[in-house]
């Protein structure tokens, strides 16, 4: 319990402090330090395993631990990257696409850093919540804290992105609240019996007594409401805008951490449906949304004229794969949990590299970026490797997890699903390959420096680390991780 | 018809009034009235309306929704110097008809979902659903950013009225929900301020440069 509280308090206190620290260097150091402490505490959680006590609101079970670890690793990478990024974006330096230099005083950097840390705190609260109401509060809190991060560059396009994000996700989360109320009605005891508290373990234990029509209605609202924030199509419309307009390190966190948080919330509802014996109902819905998301992403990936939007649509695709994996059931659940890790690591790496590309070329149009491998040797190679990983090529972890999900489809005898899944993966591979290889190869632009640039280590170390992790996972899954993934797959299947 | 039914009918009346109002000022006033009505509803419905907890919740929610939000939004109007929605996506008469239609749909849905435990009134669930649908419709059919925030508030009011009449959530969670909604509206207000400063208007159709 003390560990869980420490995980919540460290980013909260550091975030509050960041607003009052005047010196930029001290504040950046605080950001990295808080991220490192958070990761250490998360590592300790793997050892101590603070399982939720019966009736307790807080605790870390296997699915929570996996998503918490993803968030923590990604946040440290983003924090290190941010230290270099904020130094480059500091006032007085040249900035891309910024007309109103006056807005970039020191105060916004304090707001940005504070916002990042409070975002980590609210993300952590999602992962350690065992009470569904508390979880809702945490998910809504992540929307509010991340809206200010999206509007870091103060121009009209990021403002538009932030507004759409706020409105669409607030409505989505409001619907999720209604889903929570429906679930509470389903759990209310008739004729003087006691209500089942809104705690995951209690609901799973007493799932048989839940009122079926309300439970089913609740799941739909969970799926549509939290699905909006997870980026499932057709509720994904905020996602490409927010991901393309926010600073790249924020995009990395949104895509790699934020979307997963809402996925966890949907998994909780799925878990309760499974325990109540309605697994088939919730699985069918997840499967449908998964395939629609993949298909939508495929349409927009083809011919995409903005490489950050390309990555954003790829996130819609991968959220679809996660929903599909859980929707298939069986080995698909293991595959989905594993895929969440692989996708987050790879996508965060790609967004950080995209930030490096953007910093040099000052454009998000792929056709204006040429000769990447020669100008930025490290980022260029990472860009190509990241592409191979995100499209599920061996030897990366994504290959293993996408293959596991394919195998689950074949095990279930869902031939049609398997064929559509492979077809969509192939279309997206081709669509992304055209853009990525076009950027990596080609003649150097005329006004480019012409020789290799030294890339600051703060900008390349985080993506290298993330890329290394996903490569290692492709070769060998550590036993502890494998056991936890299996346990998580069992838990989200609805068995207690 | 008891007191609670009168309250619920009044909530539906404010829904329809919101749909027909063209002046943003009146929209904010109707939303505020709805907030106060829900505060009173907290007191008279639900299992623990008269406990200290219920009274505290009623005061906090009426204060936030009936006084604080309208004050914030009225200020935003003054800053942005807007008076009315000139060209809503859907006209006002049609909007009111949509409101009546959503009332019918809500009555039908609630007849399909039998309650586990009887509520304070059979009108609670249809009223909540109507308000939710009206809120969603306002968000979709209005262009002024402030009107969209009003729509969000109405949506939230509908969900709140469902919750307060049927669900006994722990006090902490109820407060957390209220706080989140409050901060969300506050952040939306800040964003509107920035929209107004960047574009000199608060029409959301100005926000349309991001698309594929």
Is A95's pLDDT higher than 70? no
Question: Which chain A residues are closer than 8 Å to B130 by Cβ?
Answer: none
The pLDDT tens digits of the residues spanning A349-368 come to 999 999 999 988 888 888 88
Q: Is B30 on the interface with A (CB under 8 A)?
A: no
Closest CA to B144 of B73, B76, B204, B75: B204
Q: Is B136 on the interface with A (CB under 8 A)?
A: yes
Question: Cβ distance B91 to B22 under 8 Å?
Answer: no
Lowest-pLDDT range of A122-136, A274-288, B110-124: B110-124
Domain assignment present for B209: no
A443-463: average pLDDT: 75
Distance of residue B172 Cα from the nearest chain A Cα, in angstroms: 9
Of B50 and A7, which is predicted with more confidence?
Answer: A7
Q: How far apart (Å, rounded) are the C-alpha atoms in residues B202 and B150?
A: 14
Distance of residue A228 Cα from the nearest chain B Cα, in angstroms: 15
Domain that holds residue A396: 2-492
Question: Which chain A residues are closer than 8 Å to B179 by Cβ?
Answer: 137
Q: Do A160 and B184 touch (CB under 8 A)?
A: no
Q: How far apart (Å, rounded) are the C-alpha atoms in residues A81 and A460?
A: 8
Residue B50: its H or E element:
none
Q: Do B166 and A181 touch (CB under 8 A)?
A: yes
Q: What is the pLDDT of residue A93?
A: 47
Instruction: Tell me the pLDDT of chain B averaged across its residues.
Output: 85
Of A268 and A53, which is predicted with more confidence?
Answer: A268
Among B156, B166, B209, select the one facing A157 at the smallest CB separation. Answer: B209
Distance of residue A383 Cα from the nearest chain B Cα, in angstroms: 23
The pLDDT tens digits of the residues spanning B4-22 come to 899 999 999 999 999 998 8
Q: How far apart (Å, rounded) are the C-alpha atoms in residues A204 and A494?
A: 7
Q: Do A161 and B210 touch (CB under 8 A)?
A: yes
Q: What is the pLDDT of residue B47?
A: 55
Instruction: Tell me the pLDDT of chain A averaged across its residues.
Output: 90
Question: Which chain A residues are closer than 8 Å to B114 by Cβ?
Answer: 213
pLDDT band at A485 (very low <50, low <70, confident <90, very high): very high
Q: Do B116 and A214 touch (CB under 8 A)?
A: yes
**CA dist B182 to A88, A161, A322, A333, Å?**
35, 21, 33, 37
A390-418: average pLDDT: 94
Number of domains in chain A: 1
Q: Which chain A residue lies closest to B162 (C-alpha atoms)?
A: A181
Q: Do B155 and A185 touch (CB under 8 A)?
A: no
Among A136, A154, A166, select the one facing B187 at the smallest CB separation. Answer: A166
Question: Which chain A residues are closer than 8 Å to B166 by Cβ?
Answer: 181, 184-185, 188
Q: What is the pLDDT of residue A97?
A: 47
| Range A395-428 burial, b when 16+ CB lie within 10 A, else e | ebbbbbbbebbbbbbeebebeebbebbeebbebb
Q: Do B177 and A174 touch (CB under 8 A)?
A: no
CA atoms within 13 A on the CB side of A127: 30
Q: Do B113 and A304 touch (CB under 8 A)?
A: no
State in Å, rounded, how far the first CA of chain A is from the last one: 21
The pLDDT tens digits of the residues spanning B136-190 come to 999 999 888 888 889 999 999 999 888 888 887 777 677 777 877 878 887 888 8
Q: Is B207 on the interface with A (CB under 8 A)?
A: yes
Domain assignment present for B146: yes
Of B97 and A107, which is predicted with more confidence?
Answer: B97
Domain assignment present for B16: yes
Q: Tell me which DSSP letter residue B69 carries.
A: H
Number of domains in chain B: 1
pLDDT band at B80 (very low <50, low <70, confident <90, very high): confident
Distance of residue A154 Cα from the nearest chain B Cα, in angstroms: 9
Q: Is B102 on the interface with A (CB under 8 A)?
A: no
- Sequence-distant (≥ 6) Cβ neighbours of residue A392 within 8 angstroms: A398, A399, A402, A403, A425, A429
Distance of residue A188 Cα from the nearest chain B Cα, in angstroms: 7
Domain assignment present for B53: yes
Q: How far apart (Å, rounded) are the C-alpha atoms in residues A72 and A123?
A: 9
Among B155, B179, B198, select the one facing A174 at the smallest CB separation. Answer: B155
Is A447's pLDDT higher than 80? no
Note whether ipTM > 0.85 here: yes
The pLDDT tens digits of the residues spanning A246-268 come to 999 999 999 999 999 999 999 99
Q: Do A143 and B184 touch (CB under 8 A)?
A: yes
Is A277's pLDDT higher than 50? yes
B62-91: average pLDDT: 82
CB A38: neighbour CB atoms within 10 A?
A: 27
Q: Do A163 and B114 touch (CB under 8 A)?
A: no
- Four-CA torsion A314, A320, A321, A322, nearest 10 degrees: 110
Q: How many CB pairs under 8 A join A and B?
A: 125
Q: What is the pLDDT of residue B86?
A: 64
Question: Which chain A residues are closer than 8 Å to B180 by Cβ?
Answer: 137, 140-141, 144
Q: Which chain B residue lies closest to A217 (C-alpha atoms)?
A: B113
Q: Is B191 on the interface with A (CB under 8 A)?
A: yes
Q: What is the pLDDT of residue A491?
A: 93
Q: Do B167 and A188 touch (CB under 8 A)?
A: yes
Domain that holds residue B84: 3-204
Q: Percent of chain A, pLDDT > 90?
A: 71
Domain assignment present for B210: no
- Highest-pLDDT range among A88-97, A142-151, A449-458: A142-151
Question: Cβ distance B142 to B193 under 8 Å?
Answer: no
Question: Which chain B residues are closer than 8 Å to A228 by Cβ?
Answer: none
Q: Percent of chain B, pLDDT > 90?
A: 30
pTM: 0.93
**CA of residue A303 relative to chain centroid, distance:** 24
Is B48's pLDDT higher than 60? no
Distance of residue A454 Cα from the nearest chain B Cα, in angstroms: 33
Domain assignment present for B211: no
The radius of gyration of chain A's CA atoms, rounded to the nearest angstrom, is 22
Is A432's pLDDT higher than 50? yes
Best probe of the B interface among A133, A218, A225, by most B CBs < 10 A, is A133
């Amino acid at each position: 319990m003390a560990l869980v509280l420490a995980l919540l308090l460290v980013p909260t206190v550091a975030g509050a402090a960041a607003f009052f620290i005047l010196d930029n260097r001290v504040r950046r150091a605080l950001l990295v330090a808080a991220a490192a402490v958070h990761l250490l505490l998360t590592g300790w959680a793997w050892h101590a395993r603070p399982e939720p006590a019966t009736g307790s609101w807080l605790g870390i079970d296997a699915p929570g631990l996996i998503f918490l670890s993803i968030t923590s690793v990604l946040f440290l990478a983003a924090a290190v990257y941010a230290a270099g990024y904020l130094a480059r974006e500091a006032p007085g330096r040249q900035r891309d696409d910024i007309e109103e230099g006056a807005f970039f005083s020191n105060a916004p950097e304090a707001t940005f850093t504070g916002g990042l840390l409070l975002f980590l705190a609210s993300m952590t609260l999602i992962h350690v919540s065992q009470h569904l109401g508390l979880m809702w509060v945490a998910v809504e809190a992540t929307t509010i804290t991340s809206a200010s991060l999206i509007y870091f560059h103060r121009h009209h396009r990021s403002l538009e992105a932030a507004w759409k994000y706020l409105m669409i996700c607030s409505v989505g989360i409001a619907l999720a609240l209604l889903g929570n109320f429906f679930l509470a009605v389903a759990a209310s005891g008739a004729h003087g019996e006691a209500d089942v508290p809104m705690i995951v373990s209690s609901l799973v234990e007493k799932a048989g007594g839940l009122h079926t029509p309300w439970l089913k209605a609740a799941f739909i609202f969970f799926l549509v409401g939290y699905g909006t924030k997870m980026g499932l199509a057709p509720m994904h419309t905020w996602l490409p805008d927010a991901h393309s307009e926010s600073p790249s390190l924020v995009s990395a966190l949104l895509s790699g951490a934020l979307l997963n948080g809402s996925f966890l919330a949907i998994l909780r509802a799925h878990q309760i449906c499974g325990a109540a014996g309605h697994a088939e109902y919730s699985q069918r819905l997840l499967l449908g949304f998964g395939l629609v998301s993949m298909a939508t992403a495929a349409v927009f990936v083809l011919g995409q004229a903005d490489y950050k939007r390309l990555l954003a649509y790829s996130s819609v695709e991968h959220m679809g794969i996660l929903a599909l994996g859980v929707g298939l059931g069986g080995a698909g659940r293991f595959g989905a949990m594993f895929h969440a890790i692989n996708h987050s690591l790879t996508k965060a790496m790609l967004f950080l590299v995209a930030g490096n590309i953007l910093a040099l070329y000052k454009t998000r149009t792929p056709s204006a970026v040429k000769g990447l491998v020669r100008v930025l040797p490290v980022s260029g190679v990472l860009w190509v490797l990241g592409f191979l990983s995100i499209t599920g090529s061996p030897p990366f972890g994504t290959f293993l997890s996408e293959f596991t999900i394919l195998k689950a489809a074949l095990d279930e005898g869902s031939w049609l699903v398997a064929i559509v899944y492979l077809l969509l993966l192939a279309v997206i591979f081709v669509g992304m390959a055209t853009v990525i290889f076009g950027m990596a190869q080609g003649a150097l632009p005329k006004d480019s420096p012409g020789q290799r640039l030294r890339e600051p280590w703060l900008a390349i170390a985080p993506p290298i680390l993330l890329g290394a992790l996903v490569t290692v996972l492709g070769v060998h899954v550590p036993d502890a991780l494998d056991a936890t993934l299996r346990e998580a797959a069992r838990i989200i299947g609805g068995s207690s | 018809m008891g007191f609670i039914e009168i309250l619920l009918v009044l909530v539906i009346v404010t829904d329809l009034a919101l749909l027909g109002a063209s002046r943003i000022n009146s929209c904010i006033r109707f939303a505020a009235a709805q907030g106060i009505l829900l505060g009173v509803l907290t007191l008279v419905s639900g299992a623990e309306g008269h406990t200290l907890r219920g009274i505290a919740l009623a005061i906090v929610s009426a204060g936030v929704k009936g006084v604080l939000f309208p004050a914030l939004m009225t200020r935003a109007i003054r800053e942005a110097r807007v008076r009315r929605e000139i060209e809503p996506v859907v006209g006002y008469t049609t909007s009111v008809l949509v409101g009546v239609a959503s009332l019918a749909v809500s009555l039908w849905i609630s007849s399909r979902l039998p309650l586990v435990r009887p509520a304070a009134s059979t009108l609670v669930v249809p009223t909540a659903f109507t308000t939710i649908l009206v809120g969603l419709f306002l968000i979709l059919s209005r262009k002024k950013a402030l009107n969209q925030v009003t729509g969000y508030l109405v949506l939230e009011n509908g969900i709140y009225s469902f919750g307060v009449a049927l669900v006994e959530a722990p006090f902490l969670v109820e407060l957390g929900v209220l706080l989140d909604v409050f901060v969300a509206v506050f952040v939306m207000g800040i964003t509107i301020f920035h929209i107004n400063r960047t574009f000199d208007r608060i029409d959301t159709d100005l926000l349309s440069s991001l698309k594929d």
